[in-house]
Amino acid sequence: MQKRKLGKSGLEVSALGLGCMGLSFGYGPATDTQEAIKLIRAAVEHGVTFFDTAEAYGPFVNEELLGEALAPYHNQVVIATKFGFKNGDSKAGVDSRPERIREVAEASLKRLKVEAIDLFYQHRVDPNVPMEDVAGTVKDLIKEGKVKHFGLSEAGVVSIRKAHAIQPVAALQSEYSLWWREPEKEIIPTLEELGIGFVPFSPLGKGFLTGAINEDTKFDSTDFRNIVPRFTPEARKANQTLVDLLSKIAQQKDATPAQIALAWLLAQKPWIVPIPGTTKLHRLKENIGAANVELTTDDLNEIEIAASKIDVQGNRYPDALAKLTGR
């Protein structure tokens, strides 16, 4: 697979990464450990070198899973993980106190079985801890050789600038896709100006842009899409227009809607690296195939014109979760 550099950081990764959260957390029951290990190793064999996890996914079990699965490939892969929630529990509120960041770093190193964390993101901005203290703590961890690169997730422009002034930010991870284009307003221009890479999560709209979900789809009771306004049956019905557009382009390109959605992201900037997640081997191969789909200027214009007429329905997060973003 082609490689990309995340901004000016020099951190080089495969053009598509693998978001590993869904293997343990968020989308229903956890995948069987051995099956998950097989999937992660298959990703490596297909050229994926960038893997995304967090202490909060589980909590802790997702990091342990990656530690085991990627142990044979340590010199070939880049593992990103995150700090920023109380006791690693995403429902317990944010906590980016310097002592907590250090605790997480030590624990993550052990779970991931690595000597240094390749990319250490603040999972959500903590309004109670100055960004200068957060970035300064990670800067110290980098000096100590425990962390290689600093990242932010779902941060706003002011936080990004504050952090970057203390310790260069290698990457911002936030939601971005054809059905969530908010980052185009302020975030992407800021990242371009500062030389920061962009790692879109949910690049397939939490599965919706694959075309495999419709208004009648039922989610497992533990699947967090049950509480997402954009996934009410009414919103899904209304938003089907976007999937229809992707399907139309996909037919012209001998591709799938998911591949078009990912190829569209890759075409936006050379320093964008989407991290689609999946629990299925055939979906993994499908997603990886997106790196070979070429969208011409005419294709991109056609998508742009058609997408501009579609009003995506429903907020991407319930209010409580939305408050944690863009700070």
Parallel, antiparallel, or unpaired: how do β-strands 12-14 and 3-5 relate?
A: antiparallel
Active site residue 57: yes
How many beta carbons lie within 10 A of that of residue 68, not counting itself? 17
- Res. 178 pLDDT band, cuts 50 70 90: very high
* pLDDT of 243: 96
* pLDDT of 292: 97
Average pLDDT value for residue range 231-240? 96
Tell me the C-alpha distance between 209 and 312, whole Å. 12
Token code pair at residue 252: 């012209």
Stated pTM of the model: 0.98
Backbone angles phi, psi at 166, to 5 degrees: -95, -50
Q: Which amino acid is at 140?
A: D
Query: Can you give the three-state secondary structure of the chain, one letter per residue?
Result: CCEEECECCCCEEECCCEECHHHCCCECCCCCHHHHHHHHHHHHHCCCCEEECCCCCCCCHHHHHHHHHCHHHCCCCEEEEEECEHHHCCCCCECCCHHHHHHHHHHHHHHHCCCCEEEEEECCCCCCCCHHHHHHHHHHHHHCCCEEEEEEECCCHHHHHHHHHHCCEEEEEEECECCECHHHCCHHHHHHHHCEEEEEECCCCCCHHHCCCCCCCCCCCCEHHHHCHHHCHHHHHHHHHHHHHHHHHHHHHCCCHHHHHHHHHHHHCCCECCCCCCCCHHHHHHHHHHHHCCCCHHHHHHHHHHHHCCCCCCCCCCHHHHCCCCC
Instruction: List the domain boundaries for the chain.
Output: 3-322
pLDDT digits (tens, 9 = 90+) for 19-63: 999 999 999 999 999 999 999 999 999 999 999 999 999 999 999
The residue annotated as part of the active site, out of 57, 73, 176, 317, is 57
pLDDT digits (tens, 9 = 90+) for 64-118: 999 999 999 989 999 999 999 999 999 999 999 999 999 999 999 999 999 999 9
Which CATH superfamily does the domain covering 3-322 fall into? NADP-dependent oxidoreductase domain (3.20.20.100)
Interior CA angle at 86 toward 180 and 146, to 5°? 85
